[in-house]
Amino acid sequence: MINVSLLGCGGMMPLPNRYLTSMIISYNGKMILVDCGEGTQVSLKILKWGFKAIESICFTHYHADHIAGIPGLLLTIGNSGRTEPLTIIGPKGLLEVIKGLTIISPNLPFELRLLEIPSEEEIVERVGDFYVHTIGVDHTIPCIAYTIEIKRKRKFDPDRAKNQNIPMFLWNRLHKGEKVIFEGKIFTPDMVLGEERKGLKISYCTDTRPTERLVDFINEADLFICEGMYGEYESIDKAMANKHMLFSEAALLAKKGNVKELWLTHYSPALKNPMLFLEGTRNIFKNTLLGEDRMSKVLCFE
């Protein structure tokens, strides 16, 4: 069971009911945060998911509306009693940005592990149970999109174990993922596990123009969270100049990518009522939802 929540769905500046961009995924007692705009801490506090179990914080890019919440959040994570290292992932420039921002949150009780991601190719990093995929997108500064994949554990297959004459007292250890050497023979977990099972895939993409690479990257995602900076088609020139998307462009991407569900986020502060554009967007991609702060969903394996 995976919990996903959109902590903030605003772009540019925080509003009373629309904090800045941030999304969190919780699985198996661990969390991964993507983007951390102003208000992220407040939403997390309201959700009551805690702070200590955040394993990794990922950034799409370094505009303030995606990252200004980090110094405060790191201090709060520190106050939650965390001492284990925390991984921060982001595109080129990460080291300099984190060095600059943590000047106001020094002496953290845990180590920061910084992972600077090149945006040219698709990269996969594993953080605990989360497989973090990234690709470069098309914004005014280096920016990456994320796909967080959670693999489903393979079942134990007693027939396979029997057929290979694996002693029964080793089954449990192998099933738990241990490699065992017994009587000079090597036994690996792979030998007792059944077929691969479909995992879950959540894609998150802001700020960017739609790109062809994104279609493959989000392909068949269970949930696709995508920016919808502007509602009306008349903003297309602005969207192209500022490297953002219209609702309709996000919906077309969702359709081409054959995703299960689309959540729109990163609304322009000028976009007071996203609801006005929902019907038109659903005409392109039916299963579209308008993101709201702390909109959450439980995803289950099939």
The DSSP output letter for 9 is: -
CA distance linking residue 77 with residue 108, whole number of Å: 9
Q: Which of 35, 65, 222, 293 is catalytic?
A: 65
Number of residues that bind a second copy (CB under 8 A): 32
Written as one string, the DSSP assignment of 35-104 is: ---TTHHHHHHHHT--STTEEEEE-S---HHHHTTHHHHHHHHHHTT--S-EEEEEETTHHHHHHHHGGG
Could you tell me the smallest distance in angstroms from the CB atom of residue 65 to a second copy?
7
Interacting span for a second copy (CB under 8 A) from 67-75, 84-92, 126-134, 271-279: 67-75
Q: What residue ranges in 84-216 does DSSP mark as E strands?
A: 86-91, 112-117, 123-127, 130-136, 144-152, 180-182, 185-187, 197-205
Measure the CA angle with vertex 127, ends 39 and 75; round to 5°.
Answer: 35
The reply on whether position 281 binds a second copy by CB under 8 A is no
Q: How far is CA 161 from CA 7, 171, 183, 264, 278, in A?
A: 45, 8, 17, 47, 53
CA distance linking residue 70 with residue 128, whole number of Å: 21
**Residue from the set 65, 149, 249, 261 that interacts with a second copy by CB under 8 A:** 65
The reply on whether position 39 binds a second copy by CB under 8 A is yes
In the complex with a second copy, the residue whose CB is nearer, 64 or 276, is 64
CA dihedral 21, 47, 128, 75 (to 10 degrees): 70
Q: Is 65 a catalytic residue?
A: yes
**Residue from the set 49, 50, 52, 72 that interacts with a second copy by CB under 8 A:** 72
Could you tell me the smallest distance in angstroms from the CB atom of residue 23 to a second copy?
18
Could you tell me the smallest distance in angstroms from the CB atom of residue 66 to a second copy?
8
Interacting span for a second copy (CB under 8 A) from 101-109, 154-162, 202-210, 249-257: 101-109
Q: Do the Cβ atoms of 34 and 56 come closer than 8 Å?
A: no
Could you tell me the smallest distance in angstroms from the CB atom of residue 269 to a second copy?
9
Q: Do the Cβ atoms of 259 and 220 come closer than 8 Å?
A: yes
Interacting span for a second copy (CB under 8 A) from 61-69, 112-120, 201-209, 254-262: 61-69
Could you tell me the smallest distance in angstroms from the CB atom of residue 31 to a second copy?
17
The reply on whether position 12 binds a second copy by CB under 8 A is yes
The reply on whether position 236 binds a second copy by CB under 8 A is no
Interacting span for a second copy (CB under 8 A) from 70-78, 154-162, 187-195, 234-242: 70-78
- Rule CB under 8 A: which of 15-34 touch a second copy? 15-16, 20
CA distance linking residue 124 with residue 148, whole number of Å: 9
The reply on whether position 95 binds a second copy by CB under 8 A is no
The rounded Cα 171 to chain-centroid distance in angstroms is 34
Could you tell me the smallest distance in angstroms from the CB atom of residue 50 to a second copy?
13
In the complex with a second copy, the residue whose CB is nearer, 10 or 228, is 10
The dihedral sign for the CA sequence 66, 72, 74, 80? negative
* Binding-site residues from annotation for Zn(2+): 61, 63, 65-66, 139, 207, 266
Backbone angles phi, psi at 143, to 5 degrees: -150, 140
Q: Point out which residues bind a second copy (CB under 8 A).
A: 12-16, 20, 38-39, 41-42, 45-46, 62-65, 67-69, 71-72, 75-76, 79, 96-97, 99-101, 103-105
Active-site residue set: 65
